[in-house]
Amino acid sequence: MKRILLLALFFLVFAVNAQININIGSTSVGTAPVSSFFSYSYVQQIYRKQEVNAAAAGNITGLTFYLDPSAVINDSSNWSVYLGHTSKGSFLSGTDWIPIAQLTQVFSGTVNRNGNKVEVVFTTPFAYNNTDNLVVAAKENSPSIDINNFDEVFRVYSHLPNSTLYYKGDRAVVDPASPPGGIRGGYKSAITISGLLPSATPSCPFITFPLNNAQKIALLPEFKWIAVSGATSYKLSVGTSPGATDVVNQQTVIGTSYTLTSPLNRDTSYYLKITAISGTAESSGCAEVVFKTVPPIPVNDACSGALSASAFPYTYTQNDAVSATNNSGNIAVCSVPQNTGMNDGTWFKFTGNGNQYTVKITMPPGSAFDPEVAVYKGSCTHLECVDTMDNGGGGQTETLVVNTTAGTEYFVNVGAYEDTTDAPEDVFTITITTP
């Protein structure tokens, strides 16, 4: 009898422990796992392996979703549920659905609310390999909607951008083999995954800034990451080589951000590692993020260091503009209709020959940098406005044509367009031509 009781107790403890809870205390709501406010919906969510944090591969036997105990889902309870594996970490567009051929239907029927839970028990377990990310997809098939205090009633939590892709509408049941274009969301369902044993250590945090291989990071960056469910604190290390802690060594942090107190070196690669702490347990196997700081201050940061254009056409790509300083502040010499001032960016100079000179500023594709270009004469300590141009927005070309006097030296400043505030410059190419 004792053996039977001990065996029964073992299976009971195993059943209780064989579940993974992910942010089940969240109080936010969203369109996941289904929409309660539209007649029909289809939602796919990606739970990364790092977040599932299972101890080993195993069979998923059910899912539990959470909602307000007062919510009504009578007309949002006809579900089809699918699970699958994917190497995809996020959805790239509104049509980037994971094909139905890569998913396995694990439930079809009516779900019921039990307090603040909707428990979906699978007829056949789903074998999760604990190697890939987990896809949770659900289709709601009821032709009517539920009216609640909030449009949507299911609990969600914020996570990485584009973790969820959903469609909701009133026209017809969605065909998961050819779903219409949807909307991406940066949240996922608060969820319990039954059947998997959780790892003995908390999951590794997702670092949101800086991203891996990021370039031109400021010298006093604010590191940011997503909270780990159950974590009470975090440990942060920064080094100049993989695994090193020579900059920051196991700094304990309460919260999900940390700003360095001493500046990093310019043009240097650093390795950042963050682990989560829960009780006496600490994340294991967390990957490092490598990033590189901003380049050195440009040689043409000040007017006195202006690069000389002596042969035309003259072309120069300023890759280190992000490190330009604002020197003595914004320049307000040119008070013309386009602008009353601009940032002191990077400098160029040429000597006029009596002809017109065309100064063109272009940005690489996808750039959001919004430059202004100004031409002066006189001297660096006593600039006189010739003209300035700021007709375009972010990423758009600026072109300025100036009439020159033979033998007169002209200074060209390319800086951010802001009148009074200091704003960073970015990569641009300057081209100066003359007939």
pLDDT, tens only, 374-397? 999 999 999 999 999 999 899 999
Tokens standing for 169?
A: 């509408």
pLDDT at 16: 52
CATH architecture for the domain at 207-293 = Sandwich (2.60)
pTM: 0.81
Cα gap 262→381, rounded to integer Å: 34
CATH architecture for the domain at 303-433 = Sandwich (2.60)
CATH architecture for the domain at 2-194 = Sandwich (2.60)
- The distance from CA 351 to its chain's CA centroid, rounded to whole angstroms, is 46
Identify the DSSP state of 265: P
Which residues does residue 317 pair with via DSSP β-bridges, in sequence order? 429
Cα gap 85→65, rounded to integer Å: 20
Q: Is the pLDDT of residue 360 over 60?
A: yes
Q: Give residue limits of the domains in the chain.
A: 2-194, 207-293, 303-433
Cα gap 197→194, rounded to integer Å: 8
Q: Is the pLDDT of residue 7 over 50?
A: no
Which residues neighbour 90 within 8 Å (Cβ) at sequence distance 6 or greater? 46, 160, 161, 162, 163, 184
pLDDT tens-digit map of 83-142:
999 999 999 999 999 999 999 999 999 999 999 999 999 989 999 999 999 999 999 998
Q: Is the pLDDT of residue 2 over 60?
A: no
Cα gap 188→214, rounded to integer Å: 26
pLDDT at 175: 97
pLDDT at 296: 97
Q: Is the pLDDT of residue 337 over 80?
A: no
pLDDT at 70: 86
pLDDT tens-digit map of 34-87:
999 999 999 999 999 999 999 999 999 999 999 988 899 998 999 999 999 999
pLDDT tens-digit map of 280-322:
999 999 999 999 999 999 999 999 999 999 999 999 999 999 9
CB atoms within 10 A of CB 19: 18
Query: Same CATH fold, 303-433 and 207-293?
Result: no
Cα gap 332→344, rounded to integer Å: 10
CB 330 within 8 A of CB 343: yes
Q: Is the pLDDT of residue 242 over 90?
A: yes
H or E element: which one contains 155?
Answer: strand 154-158
Report, as an integer, the average pLDDT of 179-201. 97
Cα gap 212→198, rounded to integer Å: 27
Cα gap 130→23, rounded to integer Å: 20
Which residues does residue 86 pair with via DSSP β-bridges, in sequence order? 133
Strand order across the beta sheet in which 183-185 lies: 103-110, 78-86, 133-140, 40-47, 164-169, 183-185
Identify the DSSP state of 245: -
pLDDT at 419: 85
- Reply yes or no: is the peptide bond before residue 210 cis, omega within 30 of 0: yes
Q: Is the pLDDT of residue 12 over 90?
A: no
The SS3 of residue 370 is coil
Angle in degrees, CA 328, 345, 303, rounded to 5: 65
Cα gap 39→76, rounded to integer Å: 8
**Antiparallel, parallel or unpaired: β 307-308 and 346-351:** parallel
Cα gap 425→367, rounded to integer Å: 11
Cα gap 435→433, rounded to integer Å: 7
Q: 151 pLDDT band (50/70/90 cuts)?
A: confident
Q: Is the pLDDT of residue 232 over 60?
A: yes
Q: Is the pLDDT of residue 10 over 60?
A: no
Q: Is the pLDDT of residue 340 over 80?
A: no
